[in-house]
Amino acid sequence: MSRYLPHWLDDVHRTRYAEFQDFVRSNVEPFAADWEREQALPQMALLQIAATGYLGASLPREHGGRAWDIVTFGLLNEAFGRGSPSLTSVITVQAMAAMAILRWGTKEQKSTWLPRLSNGKLIAAFALTEPNAGSALHSLTTTYTRDSLGDYLRLNGVKRWITCAQIAGIFLVFGKLDERPIACIVPRDAPGLTIEPIRELMGFRAAGLATLTFRDVAVPLSNMVGKPGFGLSHVAPIGLHFGRISTACHALGMLRGCVEDSADHAARRKVGDQQVGQFGMIRTLLARMATDLHAATLLCLQACRSADDGATDAFEDALAAKYFTSRAAVRAASDAVQTRGAAGCHESSAASRYYTNAKITEIIEGTTQIHEELLGKMIMARSGMIPNPRRAGQ
């Protein structure tokens, strides 16, 4: 991103971004391929990132966080996205759960959970997706029912494709109580919860995905975040908003990796007596990737700045940034492999890793098609294509 950082970024942003890049170069990139091969993040990697405070990047100081703005959070995700998709996923889901609790949690929930999420002693996961309710969130079948004891709810259901579930200590679990969507914090050690790892993914292989099965899990009523009826309209959108910002910037890091890797190869590799970069067809690929990187950088930072400003357009800006950047990363990863040729098809090349991981950024936190639907609907609404409202009470 550094070539394309906009002028309005201040020295603090630039200094922190350089710090993030240094950390990733030293502690992440040299090991990331091994983590993906082994399909697990080592404890040492989690301890290192916890020690930096990066897992509480945007949480307030009163909850043990670094209180960084969202622009800095975006730069953090970009730097990590260049190095490891799986470790970046920990940052993503930690923010999704923590920011939802920060926004809608009770004072007790915040004081109980946020300090431990900030210092990384606790990892959180965002348990929304179900086997039959991926993009169709209103089709959730996970249920909460009132326990006869009164102070508890009983949770039953299955959640699938839950990132970081293998290592998470708490889950923010979405379901319905009397047909009204709710979200509750469920500890990993709750009796009746089983966690089944999902392995052999094409990318994000060390991100600890799992299937969660809840059988009559007792959840204290005091663990409910927000109120019944607002789980999908207010709690989930906060988590998904930060998830989209994180994923957009994660994809941006991959996109930068594709440009840098391809340019480096084009400058160094010779075919016959010509450098690869002397071929017009390769320069075309580089121009396409780099221009996408430039555009995506501006979209991502705009989304971050809108979030910092509390702008009403922040949600649309995050959707646009994630939509554009994830697709651009997929195109760039394909072109990066093409630039490298056969060497780009080997697991040892960064290009091949970007190729298998970039596609996943088009799926998580809302598929490309869901983003098109939402963005298209927003544009339609502004164009007056939505039916007139009915009177309240009719």
CA distance 71 to 149: 46
> Hey, which residues between 94 and 113 contact another protein (CB under 8 A)?
104-106
Given the rule CB under 8 A, which of 22-30, 115-123, 171-179, 383-391 is the region that contacts another protein?
383-391
Smallest separation, CB 388 to another protein (Å)? 7
Does residue number 211 form part of the binding site for another protein (CB under 8 A)? no
Other C-beta atoms closer than 10 Å to the C-beta of 336 total 32
Among 227, 268, 283, 346, binds another protein (CB under 8 A): 227
Residues with Cβ within 8 Å of 11's Cβ and at least 6 positions away in sequence, in order, are none
Smallest separation, CB 154 to another protein (Å)? 22
> Hey, which residues between 246 and 305 contact another protein (CB under 8 A)?
none
Residue 166's SS3 state is coil
Smallest separation, CB 323 to another protein (Å)? 14
> Hey, which residues between 237 and 256 contact another protein (CB under 8 A)?
237-238
What's the burial of 223, exposed, middle or buried (CB within 10 Å: 0-12/13-18/19+)?
A: buried
Given the rule CB under 8 A, which of 22-30, 148-156, 333-341, 373-381 is the region that contacts another protein?
373-381
Q: Give the nearer residue to another protein in terms of CB position, either 85 or 226.
A: 226
Among 8, 10, 179, 391, binds another protein (CB under 8 A): 391
130 DSSP β-pair partners:
133
Among 141, 233, 284, 291, binds another protein (CB under 8 A): 233
Smallest separation, CB 228 to another protein (Å)? 9
Smallest separation, CB 106 to another protein (Å)? 7
Residue 79's SS3 state is helix
Does residue number 392 form part of the binding site for another protein (CB under 8 A)? yes
Structural contact between residues 233 and 250, judged by C-beta atoms closer than 8 angstroms: no
Helices (H), 84-198: 85-104, 107-118
Q: Which of 171, 134, 165, 317 is nearest to 241 (CA)?
A: 317
Structural contact between residues 197 and 209, judged by C-beta atoms closer than 8 angstroms: yes
133 DSSP β-pair partners:
130
Q: Give the nearer residue to another protein in terms of CB position, either 70 or 333.
A: 70
CA distance 303 to 314: 6
Mask for 58-97, x = binds another protein (CB under 8 A)? ----------------------------------------
Residues with Cβ within 8 Å of 373's Cβ and at least 6 positions away in sequence, in order, are none
Q: Give the nearer residue to another protein in terms of CB position, either 335 or 365.
A: 365
Phi, psi (rounded to 5 degrees) for 109: -60, -40
Binding residues vs another protein (CB under 8 A): 104-106, 225-227, 229-230, 232-234, 237-238, 310-312, 314-316, 374, 377-378, 381-384, 386-394
